[in-house]
């Protein structure tokens, strides 16, 4: 009947489209759950990082020789290096 009306393969195409649509819906649902899980994990990591930072701060010696001072110096050096690279990049462009 489809061939008579010049639309041969329409039913097959429609069935395939519905099948692909169902698969896409499943994948979208899985992706949503994965994003929710990742968001929860990031929140947990942030919470632990804050606790860890507070513990480190309680051991901060203020002489510049403790672990926290070393970490803070490293962080500051990294920030300066990154900022310097971005500044050079902006000046070149």
50 band by pLDDT with thresholds 50, 70 and 90: confident
- pLDDT at position 16 is 92
**Whether residue 69 is found in the same domain as residue 92:** yes
Most distant pair of Cα atoms in the chain: their distance: 90
Q: Answer yes or no: is pLDDT of 19 > 90.
A: yes
pLDDT mean across residues, the chain = 78
**Whether residue 70 is found in the same domain as residue 45:** no
**Whether residue 54 is found in the same domain as residue 71:** no
| Cα Rg, the chain, nearest whole Å | 28
**Whether residue 51 is found in the same domain as residue 69:** no
**Whether residue 48 is found in the same domain as residue 19:** yes
Q: What is the pLDDT of residues 71-86, one digit of tens each?
A: 777 777 777 776 665 5
Query: How many domains does the chain fold into?
Result: 2
**Whether residue 8 is found in the same domain as residue 31:** yes
Instruction: Tell me, letter by letter, the H, E, C secondary structure of the chain.
Output: CHHHHCCCCHHHHHHHHHHHHHHHHHHHHHHHHHHHHHHHHHHHHHHHHHHHHHHHHHCCCCCCCCHHHHHHHHHHHHHHHHHHHHHHHHHHC
Instruction: Enter the pTM of the model.
Output: 0.47
Q: Which two tokens stand for residue 23?
A: 């698969």
């Amino acid at each position: 009947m489809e061939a008579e009306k010049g639309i041969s393969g329409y039913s097959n195409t429609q069935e395939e489209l519905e099948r692909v649509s169902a698969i896409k819906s499943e994948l979208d649902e899985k992706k949503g759950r994965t994003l929710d899980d990742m968001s929860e994990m990031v929140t947990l990591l942030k919470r632990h990082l804050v606790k860890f930072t507070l513990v480190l701060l309680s051991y901060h010696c203020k002489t510049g020789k403790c672990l926290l001072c070393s970490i803070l110096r490293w962080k500051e050096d990294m920030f300066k290096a990154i900022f310097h690279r971005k500044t050079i990049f902006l000046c070149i462009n």
